[in-house]
Amino acid sequence: MDQEDYYLAKLKESIQGEVAIFIDAANLEKSVQNMWVHPKDIPEKFSGFQPEDLSWRIHYKKLKNFFLGLTNIKLLNFYTADFFTSDHQNFLSLLEKLNYKVIRKPLKIYADHTDDHPHRKANFDVEISVDAVANLNYYDTIILFSGDSDFVYLLRFLKDKNKRVILFSRKGHVAKELFSEIDNYFDIVDFRHIFLRVCLKAKNPA
């Protein structure tokens, strides 16, 4: 059994009953974009590029289909700041067509940084926590894509309610406090060939 098969088998074993998936978009996408692209993972169409020219991105259709192949998804929620650009609106519309429930709010920009390095914020800790608690009767296992330490209280509550808690994040992007409150943790890098894709780095990433 190779590593990918091992982690897939471990995930299948971890999931029980109905599933709710909550995606903290900013946390997930930042952790994925910071992953190094190994030369062996560079697709043929980017064969002329160096690893530093490339980055990983989530392939949301593959992510959804992957989990549909494993379990019955009752909730598939995507929490994101709204950048109010045409590209971002098109992206969110695509997610909705894929049956993601998109929860959005405006990105706040604070005046305590320079124009070149603005302080931007759009946390969804409260929204994710409220939705997770409000829908307790609809799922047995929660899969959270985030590594934010603010979720410790929520995950502790869910464990007390006998919910299975599975965390997806990335080394260096997950708070150590979360590990005592979950059933299993999976590093996204181990699923990169399943629901990630290699892209050219954006010149001016948001």
Write 38-47 long-range contacts (CB < 8 A, 24+).
Answer: 41/192, 41/193, 41/198, 42/198, 43/198, 46/198, 46/200
Residue 206: the pLDDT is: 36
Cβ-contact 140, 158 below 8 angstroms: no
Residue with tokens 């952790």: 31
Spatial distance between the Cα atoms of 169 and 156, rounded to a whole number of angstroms: 18
CATH class for the region spanning 3-200: alpha beta
Q: How many residues does the chain have?
A: 206
Strands (DSSP E) along the chain, which ranges?
19-24, 54-58, 73-82, 101-106, 108-110, 119-121, 141-145, 164-169, 184-187, 196-200
Cβ-contact 167, 187 below 8 angstroms: no
Cβ-contact 162, 139 below 8 angstroms: no
Cβ-contact 206, 71 below 8 angstroms: no
Residue 116: the pLDDT is: 55
Spatial distance between the Cα atoms of 20 and 197, rounded to a whole number of angstroms: 24
- Report residue 110 as tokens: 């604070």
AA identity, residue 174: V
Tell me the sheet residues that pair with 56: 198
Tens-digit pLDDT profile for residues 193-205: 999 999 998 754 3
Tens-digit pLDDT profile for residues 104-136: 998 766 555 555 555 455 689 999 999 999 999
Where would I find the H helices in 60-179? 60-68, 86-97, 125-134, 152-160
pTM (predicted TM-score): 0.90
Q: Which backbone phi and psi does 179 adopt, to 5 degrees?
A: -65, -30
Tens-digit pLDDT profile for residues 66-112: 999 999 999 999 999 998 899 999 999 999 999 999 999 987 665 55
Spatial distance between the Cα atoms of 91 and 72, rounded to a whole number of angstroms: 25
Domain residues of the chain, as ranges?
3-200
Tens-digit pLDDT profile for residues 124-173: 999 999 999 999 999 999 999 999 999 999 999 999 999 999 999 998 89
Residue 18's Cβ-count burial label (10 Å; 0-12, 13-18, 19+) is middle
